[in-house]
Structure 1
Amino acid sequence: MLNNALDFIPEIPLSDAAKGVTDFITDKFSFLFNPIKEHFGNFMEFMSEDVLMNIPPVIFIIAVAILAFFISGKKFGLAVFSIVGLWLIYNQGHWDNLMNTVTLVLLASILSVIIGVPIGILMSKSKAANAILTPVLDFMQTMPAFVYLIPAVAFFGIGMVPGVFASLIFATPPTVRFTNLGIRQVSRDLVEAADAFGSTGAQKLFKVELPMAKATIMAGINQTVMLALSMVVIASMIGAPGLGREVLSSLQRAQVGPGFVAGIGIVILAIIIDRITQNMNKKKD
């Protein structure tokens, strides 16, 4: 009897409702999704195949090493690691896959920052926005990453565009949260001093709050970039090219060697990106 105590409530058709909402959005907003898929997809192919892949690998490696050298405070450690790591990826025949991965991570990260920073500023300025958006961010961060592939495929089909869309949803929350946190942690004395000198809201934001919150915001951006990179393998399940596709293909065929090599390429790229973004923050401090 106790086992049936909860059965008096009929089953809620949650699955059907989710499918209905997805079908409705896909149908009603196809005029928006189709141009995004076409034009943004063409732009990503241009960035990957016509820009990055046309840069001679030696030039790309030297440029990254020089950037790493100056960003790290003229230390050779990160620059040497960048040269050796990127050369190893080229040596293993994964250079084109690397460029596809860089394109996906770069665009997903840029879009996440463009969207995330203004939303974080809004949350820091509005209690209502903070109360409404905090559960949304919790939902975005706790939902398994694989679930984001379902609406991505429904809206944009397969390819790199839905991969960027899924990465965008997955990677945006840290930038939003850290921007909100950083601005809220700015000393109230500084804000009151800015008010006393007659600063406008925009002046106070851009000349006091954002500069003081810079370190915290950069930490959020660093996390966003790393989360976008972590979606590389998952996005390969819906047709996104790159190193993740090689890992997935090796997994499906139980090929340990190729999968390990592609995984090492992802690790090398992750370390380079992580160290560069961290050192950018330290350099500015």
Structure 2
Amino acid sequence: MNNIPKLPLGNWIESLESWLENHFTPLLDFIRLIIGSIVDFLHHVLLFSPSILMILIITALAWFLGKWKVAAFALIGLLLIDNLGYWEHAMETLAIVLTASLLSIIIGVPTGILCARSSFLQGIITPLLDLMQTMPAFVYLLPAVSFFSLGVVPGVIASIIFAVPPTIRLTNLGIRQVPSELVEAADAFGSTPNQKLFKLQLPMALPTMMAGINQTIMLSLSMVVISSMIGAQGLGADVYRAVTQTKTGIGFEAGISIVVLAILLDRMSNHIVKKNKR
């Protein structure tokens, strides 16, 4: 085996990276502008009103989507974040997570629909999804920084790559699990492919799709601390600074704030799934 020349895979990847940088700079700049604008917009919306008013709005939304227990947790948890002094950073984190989740859904749902319609395309995309889910998350940071420099944009890009597979997989699965008898009945009544998709397959697949979206949101939030290593701000940056400076108390406070956001997003999205199932 020592006599076999090493496959120059790393050189190929770096050559591809350089080629993309040289030929797709306008596209990369456009993507940077769009993602940066979405994050800034959500950040300004979340910080537009006083923290207590935003806490009451989120609590009311939690009450509407879930039960009184979810609303009570939202009220207590968000008041704790505000009291600890991490409100602004928590809203920065929430803006990043919402942006990554929104773009993952926009990319993932149509891709999942295409996979459900074409077994050939599914066979091509499934290995790519396996690669995206098993590759160490730190590896995604390298090309993201090369293409988009430091800051929040490469953090969002890395989060999308890491978080989009569940939405694609479960959208594909949900549509494929629609009973064939119902699909045949729709065909017998002369439904077009689009009518069959929007009036039969997507409504029946929605609970499964929402489960995938829930996983995407959680995975996006799990990338918060990793993204802080390349300039993304928010609670992840507080945790990262606490680790590098060995400040256990600050790290614990920021970590608790991330846990509150994670539980709140998980419970609210889970109740959306339960409502769709009913």
Matching residue of 2:54? 60
8 Å CA contact 2:115, 2:122 repeated in 1: yes
How many residues align? The count is 277
Matching residue of 2:262? 270
Matched, 1:100 2:95: no
User: Which consecutive unaligned segments of at least 5 residues does structure 2 have?
Assistant: none
- What are the within-5 Å matches in structure 2 for residues 1-285 of structure 1? 6-48=1-43, 50-72=44-66, 75-284=67-276, 285=278
8 Å CA contact 2:166, 2:212 repeated in 1: yes
C-alpha root-mean-square deviation of aligned residues, in Å? 1.1
In the aligned structure 1, how far is the partner of 2:38 from the partner of 2:115? 32
Aligned sequence identity (%): 52
Cα offset for 1:46? 3.5
Greater mean alpha carbon deviation, residues 273-282 or residues 19-28: 19-28
Q: Give TM-score, length-normalised by structure 2.
A: 0.97
Cα offset for 1:33? 1.2
Q: Give the AA of the match of 2:167.
A: T
In the aligned structure 2, how far is the partner of 1:274 from the partner of 1:196? 40
In the aligned structure 2, how far is the partner of 1:122 from the partner of 1:262? 40
Cα offset for 1:39? 4.8
Cα offset for 1:54? 1.7
Q: Give the AA of the match of 1:47.
A: L
Q: Structure 1 residues 101, 198: CA separation in 2 closer, same or farther (over 3 Å shift)? A: same
User: Which consecutive unaligned segments of at least 5 residues does structure 1 have?
Assistant: 1-5
Q: Give the AA of the match of 2:245.
A: R
Deviations 1:50-108 (A, max 9, x none): 32212211111111111111211xx3111111001001001111111011101100010
Q: Give TM-score, length-normalised by structure 1.
A: 0.95
Q: Structure 1 residues 258, 137: CA separation in 2 closer, same or farther (over 3 Å shift)? A: same
